[in-house]
Amino acid sequence: MRDVTRLNNRYGDDKVSDGCSIFGVMDTTGAPIPADVAIRAIDLMRDRDNGLGGGFAAYGLYPEHAEEYAFHVMYTSRQGQRDTEDYLSQSFCIVQSEPMETDPGTIPNAPLMYRYFAYVRPDRLAGADEAQFVAERTMYVNTSITDSFVFSGGKNLGVFKGVGHPYDIARFFRLERYSSYLWTAHGRFPTNTPGWWGGAHPFSLLDWTVVHNGEISSYGINKRFLEQYGYICSLQTDTEVIAYAVDLLVRRHGLSMETAARVIAAPFWSDLSRSETAETMVQQALRMTYGGLLLNGPFTVIIARSGEMVGLTDRIRLRPLVVASHGSRLYLSSEESAIRLVSPELDDVWIPVGGQPVIARLGHMPTSDDDWSPVEVPARAH
């Protein structure tokens, strides 16, 4: 019998469950931030990833096409490109189509990268919700068209990701040319899923993007709950359920981001049973209604959309998150050292309480002294 122990990794580091690096920076005045800030910060944490996935998201990237959807699509065959373009042209007026400018010498065997600026054909909506219309067609391409994957599809937003270290991905997409008011970045160490181009972070739907460090052990029940509402979870990464969950809660059901955080990182039942205030009753109702969206397992996420960036950890902080601010910029990071590299002088630095979101918005800068806001009752749900 062959001695298989000789083939095993004797260092035991082939699965590092606490790996992955995340970083986010937002200028709350909307001033542009050079890509170099995010690139340098995430590259400093290179020892947290293994080169099997890296990526960036940038908001305010295409001001000249701000009212059009910017689709970033990767192809592994020309037939996949033809099929996708035929399908998209049935629902969208494509204003501009172009290959994305890349440095092919940086990463070998990369997919074909194309960018499309488009708006929905008015005759195809027929009174339907436009955002839902776009989301459904994005998911159709990603699940039903061979050799094609839409990895970014929001307005004035660009996602750039792939297999490689984040610095390699930045060079491949030539990100040094770009500036935006909000950047998120991710260095991946896959634990339960393969390292492939579509599975790299950020994960995106419409203008939502998510970067994630940790493991979602509740993926199965989260997936089944979301499938009841038409979401298709097929991308071999637990991060997609986070993006779908916030899309369902905020866009479709009308909850605030603060309330959505109380769903995905809900208080313990033991804490809710200690009082019978109106706020506690609302939290109990949320827990019962959306129990299938509670995220179990260790995690830290940065969730972003146009004009907003959110940092959130699991309830007992099993994954790191550091928050800092300087002037009009807010920073979120796995490590304080990455923030200090790009901003040595800081006005405020803190570690947030587990399960309580840190939310920056255009015109609003959070601080370490902020009180936790009570949950709100949604004005409407549909």
Residues marked active site are found at 20
Nearest CA among 185, 138, 143 for reference residue 164: 185
Residue 280: CA count within 13 A, CB half-sphere: 10
364 DSSP 8-state letter: B
Pairing of strands 358-361, 69-75: unpaired
3-state helix, strand, coil in the chain (%, to 5): 30, 25, 45
Cβ within 8 Å of residue 279, ≥6 positions away: 374, 375
Nearest CA among 98, 197, 78, 218 for reference residue 142: 197
Distance CA 184, CA 360 (A): 13
Residue by residue, DSSP assigns 140-173 as HHHHHSTTEEEEE-SBTEEEEEESS-HHHHHHHT
Distance CA 89, CA 13 (A): 47
Longest alpha-carbon distance in the chain? 68
Peptide bond just before 122 cis, omega within 30 deg: no
What residues form DSSP beta bridges with 259?
none
